[in-house]
Structure 1
């Protein structure tokens, strides 16, 4: 039994560790150009919106249904919708409790496309950059927490699949690893832009991926009875609501502040397409 458990854990670690690839991509190069920031945030928003509506919410509805064939019922769908908006209400409440100086709704003005730490800036531009850095740091931190929360049951699900049938787990691990890359990018890009520290951005993003093997261990030892059936369905639907709110309230507004509107839109669509291909392969 020890060997299958170790193999399952290693596969889960590989899936979660792919976040580091996105983190590395987010901190490469000298500075973070506005187009790169816009593209990274737009891509991640597209991934999160698509996976929320096309994977998490339907899976939550199916888990909350009591149909013999596992298809969503009217009652299961209604409960999933309730959990979905419950997740939105929770993150919106937390958003309202954030102090105004770092709240995205309180920031106005676009930033120059020059490097955020450039020395030859007007005082007003420097103040605007400081405000944007505070906003992006908050965005990256919130993203890290939300993605870590999302990755805990995801890691446990990967672990259980690998434990039961490793050959079935391989495509699951590959698909999860693929969509973990833009997740790492989503955290690393705003944190790097906000702090100028590649190390901080890389490790914060990497830690979100490590929530998957952590979820595997915790779930295997303690939470297996609580992450089955209706409870798991409510968690999936609630996390979908949180991810949608973060995408619309944090990622897309921050991306638009760069002034690269078309880059944001194209990247958003590319993120949706990437996630769609991943789900089809899965």
Structure 2
């Protein structure tokens, strides 16, 4: 039982790191569009890098070991695009809003004391929270099971997951904070997306342990990779460029990829 408790606490620690990222977003004013552009670019960099460098190939390895190299690769690609289609359908059926306060040019902005009131940013934050919750759920399962099998490995994984959950927390909280000016709402959604990790640990312990397989992990991770790429290309990067100044969004992308690469190296 002590091993189970330790594994769960490690998973909880990793998940709560999204709240740290959310708190970091609150050091900037709601009208600081330079920070907004950089942070959105950073979030896109994190999501693109982890999806294409880590999650996709984890899915491929899991499915290949279960189904064979060729068939596993096919199912990985199918799962990847199925994730894109899934989030695309969600996007399609989300009601479209008009934004009477849309900012067309950053340089023409005054310094209002109100939020940007941009529904596109709000929707982006909600989508990002959804994708990261889906991502964090199997990640929580993986952290929990690794810690049960080898506490030393589990601890290293939890630390690395916590590091890359910090910018993921920014990915959720920044657009919601800028859209609404509501710190509590931004923190709450970011916090809840991180709680998907300990929930994954609980589900793994109570329900899934007899059924966990490489094939199940592979399909989940492949779809999550597709979802995160879609959000980055369709939502995060266009919004980052809309508020861009002096290529800050691209510098954000590079920084996000660097942070993600470092956290993955720590996991190796």
TM-score by length of 2: 0.92
- 1:205 equivalent in alignment to 2:190: yes
Give the match for residue 255 of structure 2: 270
Give the match for residue 253 of structure 1: 238
- Partner of 1:100, secondary structure, is coil
- 1:84 equivalent in alignment to 2:80: yes
Give the whole-Å Cα distance in 2 for the aligned partners of 1:115 and 1:74.
Answer: 57
Relative to structure 1, the CA distance from residue 195 to residue 115 in structure 2 (aligned partners, 3 Å threshold; closer, same or farther) is: farther
Give the match for residue 171 of structure 1: 156
Give the superposition deviation at 1:98. 1.8
Give the match for residue 94 of structure 1: 90
Give the superposition deviation at 1:259. 2.8
Give the superposition deviation at 1:142. 1.0
Asked if structure 1 preserves the Cα contact closer than 8 Å seen for 2:31 and 2:113, the reply is no
- Partner of 1:139, secondary structure, is helix
Give the superposition deviation at 1:168. 1.1
CA deviation map 1:157-181 (0-9, x unaligned) = 1011111111111210111000000
Give the whole-Å Cα distance in 1 for the aligned partners of 2:112 and 2:261.
Answer: 34
Within the candidate set 202, 218, 223, 1:238 is matched to 223
User: What stretches of structure 2 of length at least 5 have no aligned partner?
Assistant: none
Give the match for residue 61 of structure 1: 60
Give the superposition deviation at 1:190. 0.7
CA deviation map 1:106-139 (0-9, x unaligned) = x883455444545xxxxxxx9xx44xx2111111
Give the whole-Å Cα distance in 1 for the aligned partners of 2:59 and 2:70.
Answer: 13
Relative to structure 1, the CA distance from residue 39 to residue 221 in structure 2 (aligned partners, 3 Å threshold; closer, same or farther) is: same
- 1:157 equivalent in alignment to 2:103: no
Asked if structure 1 preserves the Cα contact closer than 8 Å seen for 2:164 and 2:260, the reply is yes
- 1:35 equivalent in alignment to 2:34: yes
Relative to structure 1, the CA distance from residue 32 to residue 158 in structure 2 (aligned partners, 3 Å threshold; closer, same or farther) is: farther
Give the superposition deviation at 1:224. 2.9
Give the superposition deviation at 1:227. 3.8
The count of corresponding residues between Structure 1 and Structure 2 is 264
Asked if structure 1 preserves the Cα contact closer than 8 Å seen for 2:7 and 2:148, the reply is yes
Relative to structure 1, the CA distance from residue 266 to residue 29 in structure 2 (aligned partners, 3 Å threshold; closer, same or farther) is: closer
Give the match for residue 179 of structure 2: 194
Q: What is the Cα-based RMSD across aligned positions, in Å?
A: 2.1
Asked if structure 1 preserves the Cα contact closer than 8 Å seen for 2:21 and 2:169, the reply is yes
User: What stretches of structure 1 of length at least 5 have no aligned partner?
Assistant: 119-125
Give the whole-Å Cα distance in 1 for the aligned partners of 2:226 and 2:54.
Answer: 12
- Partner of 2:65, secondary structure, is coil
Give the whole-Å Cα distance in 2 for the aligned partners of 1:170 and 1:224.
Answer: 20
